[in-house]
Every structure is written in structure tokens, then in C-alpha cells.
Amino acid sequence: MAAALHEVAGECQHDLWAALTEWEAALERKSLLDRTRDVRRQRLDGELRVVPYEGRHAQAWHDLNEALLHPREHILEPGGAILIAELRGRPVGTCALIPMQHPHYDVELAKMAVDPEVQGLGVGYRIAQATLELARQRGDYRVYLASNQRLQAAVHLYRKLGFQDVTDKHEGYQRADVQMALTLTPDSPID
């Protein structure tokens, strides 16, 4: 077997063992899974749009946010906003701004949800960025959110966006054990 492998190697222009060593080193620098995700994220750039909520998004809203069935009544009519992430025209994410009657906060970032099929591809980050930019455009600079530490990816995303833990807890969220805030400035980049 060794002799046969040596004969085949002699007929080839490339050293298989050197190539395998190069592949191993490349995969140690960045896994194949991470490389695949990066390619999918790049493809998303041209195919993902964040748009304002419309009636045609009602079913997607329901599917992604089962806990709040009447977004127009509970969010939009009181002066809030909802954004929908669409991938090739299909709704795959939601995020909302809900006005707050609080001395420290203007709005709550809420109801962020991403279709499990596209989680991990940056959809949540993109829709959160767009929602925070909308808040800034509206003049809402003090943004609050409530979450749960079990939602580790979400909490990590919020910290990446600049949210920090707060001690002045907002009542009304029984399952929320993480409460955070972010102060936007008129010219601060959202990244």
C-alpha cells in the first residue's frame, strides 16, 4: 500500500502531504463552519432589506412574536415603530420601538425576533442597527430593553450594540432578568 501511494504521489505535480498541512493550518485559523457563515452573510448583504411594518407583515409578526398579537394597537398607534427584516421578500425578523412614560427612557427596544432558519447570519444585528437608527432619527435618544440571560446570543448582541446593564429596573417584566440601556447621540454611529 505504501509503495502504491508513493507511486501515485510520484505521478502528481503537487505534494498531497504539504497540501493537507496547508489545509489544516488554514482551518485552524478559521473553521469551515465560520467560512460558510461568512459567505452566507455576504450573500445576505444584497438580499436583506429592513422595511417599516405594513399590514402584509401581520402573519410574519404573529409567527415570530406570538406573545403580542396586535402590533398596530399596542405599538404603532401609541407612537411606536416596527421594522421588518425581509430576505428575498420573505419576512425573517422583527424589532420594535415602544414609547415609554419613564423619566430616564424615551423608548423601549422590544419584540426583536429572527426566524430560526437565518439565526447566526447577522439578521438580528442588522435589524437592531436599523431600529436604533430610526430611534435616533425620531429624536429618541434614551433606549431601554429587557431580556433574559438565557437568551445569551441576544444579550451578546445588545452589548455589541453598546447597551449596558442598568440598576433602575423597569417594572412589568416578570421573566426579564437582564435590563439594559443605551444613550444615542445625534451623530453617534450605530455599529
Q: pLDDT-derived band of residue 130, with 50, 70 and 90 as boundaries?
A: very high
- Among residues 119, 116, 121, the alpha carbon closest in space to that of 45 is found at 121
Residue 52: the pLDDT is 97
Terminal CA-CA length for the chain: 57
Structure confidence at residue 1 (pLDDT): 79
What pTM, to 2 d.p., does this model score? 0.77
Between β-strands 81-87 and 90-99, what pairing exists: parallel, antiparallel or unpaired? Answer: antiparallel
- pLDDT tens profile 141-172: 999 999 988 999 999 999 999 999 998 666 66
CATH 3.40.630.30 is right for the domain spanning 48-183? yes
CB-based contact 144:98 (threshold 8 Å) = no
CB distance 145 to 108 below 8 Å: yes
Q: Is 89 left (phi over 0), alpha (psi -120 to 50) or beta?
A: left
67-107 pLDDT, tens digit each: 777 899 999 999 999 999 999 999 999 999 999 988 899 99
Could you state, in order of their start, the residue ranges of all structural domains in the chain?
A: 48-183
Rounded to 10 degrees, the C-alpha dihedral 97/98/102/106 comes to 30
| Residue 153 β-bridge partners | none
Q: What is the pLDDT of residues 8-66, one digit of tens each?
A: 777 877 777 787 788 788 788 888 887 777 776 677 777 899 999 999 999 999 999 87
How far is it, in rounded angstroms, from Cα 126 to Cα 170?
26
